Amino acid sequence: MTSGQFEGATPIPSRFLRRLGPVATIALAQLFGTSLWFSANSATDTLMTSWQISAADIGWLTNAVQGGFILGTMIMALGGLAERYRASLIFVVSAACGALFNACFAWFSEGLASGIVFRFLVGLSLAGIYPVGMKLIVSWAPERTGQALAQLVAMLTLGTALPHALREAGTDLPWQYVILASSMLALLGAVLIHLLGDGPHLPGAGQKKQVSGSRSERPLTVFDAFKVNRFRAAALGYFGHMWELYAFWTVVPLLVANTALISEYSAVGLSGMAFSIIGIGALGCLVGGGLSRRIGSAKVALGALASSCVCAVVFALFWRDLPAMWLGILLLAWGATVIADSPQFSALAAQACPKEVVGAALAIQNSIGFAITVVSIAATTALFDRIGLDAAWLLVPGPIVGLLGFAWASRRASKFETNA
């Protein structure tokens, strides 16, 4: 049996994919698939004008995606779908459905209510793309999870920023065409994963694993992961990070449009600056992935979380006074650090939980994390309508709670290991 084949998996049939490698192929498919996530946000200015909606309403469009994602990941985790079916099959079907619902949003939305329905269905589909992509990474490269997941989340970040780049490139095109471009990319991502298949390092679909006890055996469930202190530490850090991340990504166009940046660098354009601030997070992920091989995922994750917290505080304190150049540098630093911790927390979680439930454990961690984003996005955009850019203060508590939660659970893990 070769390294690219195992029971239930498919070999890599394409010379191009063999040369690209499985990790890069999954990362590229993730880039294309997750371009669906913020496709509507690339048209923020147009939608606010044509639909007569506010910044808070844009937040609800984003939260519709988050809500669909939460429901989808809960179904995946609690229903055992992540372990029952091949990860590559789930990814392909989800990407195709997401592309369809995204296209429906472009052509059939007539206002906020119908737009929310289609964005919810896009989020439901994304539940089979993002966490399943992480499981595919673990199935192909378990020996370098932190670095490989960094590549994956880097592509998620670029996928999030990509609609802004498409919007900037197609300034004269109707916003619907920009959103349709994301659907085409998602279909291309589905094709890549269909050709690649599953990796050899996780149990095959439908294979049952059990935990042995003194008198009985029972199947492993996702809740067994939360009994592991180190998994809880990674999850708590991740939850604090999620309070900040998606709220920040949602308001980036608003941060740019309401500061000196938009007048000082008008040639770059609002979408161009939004793409740069969000997209630089891909570089942050890649740098963090490289560092994780040297100093470990925990130090990288905590360092990035603390750094993004500092950026949030500095922005909230000085956005009125900073010159445009320094304001741009600050937002770029914030964009680079706000996501760099995500793959490392996921790597720590994947390494800590039982291998047989890694897909479900990552899915439930994602589900809880994205439930937190619904609250932070709604609160931040609503507060923005009332007090403007001072709403950035609302992003600060997330990293602080994440750092404290990680420290508390890690200390419990160390005490348990010492006593053992």
The model's pLDDT over 26-46, given as tens digits with 9 standing for 90+, comes to 888 988 998 898 788 777 778
How confident is the model at residue 14, as a pLDDT? 62
Query: 217 by DSSP, 3-state: which?
Result: strand
Alpha-carbon distances of 336 from 152, 220, 276, 311, 342, rounded to whole Å: 15, 37, 10, 10, 11
Query: Is the sign of the CA dihedral 225, 230, 234, 240 positive or negative?
Result: positive
Please indicate, yes or no, if residue 111 is contained in any of the structural domains.
yes
Please indicate, yes or no, if residue 19 is contained in any of the structural domains.
yes
Please indicate, yes or no, if residue 209 is contained in any of the structural domains.
no
Q: Which residue has the tokens 């809500």?
A: 67
Please indicate, yes or no, if residue 347 is contained in any of the structural domains.
yes
Q: Which residue has the tokens 């890694």?
A: 358
Residues with Cβ within 8 Å of residue 391, at least 6 apart in sequence: 251, 380, 381, 383, 384
How confident is the model at residue 346, as a pLDDT? 86
How confident is the model at residue 332, as a pLDDT? 96
Please indicate, yes or no, if residue 215 is contained in any of the structural domains.
no
> CB–CB of 220/211 below 8 Å?
yes
CATH code (residue 51):
1.20.1250.20
Please indicate, yes or no, if residue 3 is contained in any of the structural domains.
no
How confident is the model at residue 169, as a pLDDT? 73
DSSP state of 144: G
Number of domains in the chain: 1
How confident is the model at residue 1, as a pLDDT? 37
> CB–CB of 12/6 below 8 Å?
no
Please indicate, yes or no, if residue 4 is contained in any of the structural domains.
no
Q: Are strands 217-219 and 210-212 parallel, antiparallel or unpaired?
A: antiparallel
Q: CA-CA distance, 211 to 216, in Å (whole number)?
A: 9
How confident is the model at residue 186, as a pLDDT? 94
Domain with 87, as residue range(s), is 15-201+221-419
Helix 87-108 × helix 175-196 angle, to 10°: 170
CA 230 to chain centre: 21
Pick the closest to residue 396 from 288, 306, 279, 299 (CA basis).
306
Q: CA-CA distance, 338 to 312, in Å (whole number)?
A: 9
Q: State the pTM of this model.
A: 0.75
Share of the chain above pLDDT 70, in %: 86
Residues with Cβ within 8 Å of residue 412, at least 6 apart in sequence: 229, 232
How confident is the model at residue 2, as a pLDDT? 40
Please indicate, yes or no, if residue 301 is contained in any of the structural domains.
yes
Which segments in the chain show pLDDT lower than 70? 1-16, 82-83, 143-145, 170-172, 202-223, 356, 413-420
Q: CA-CA distance, 420 to 416, in Å (whole number)?
A: 6
How confident is the model at residue 219, as a pLDDT? 61
Which H or E element spans position 261? Answer: helix 261-264
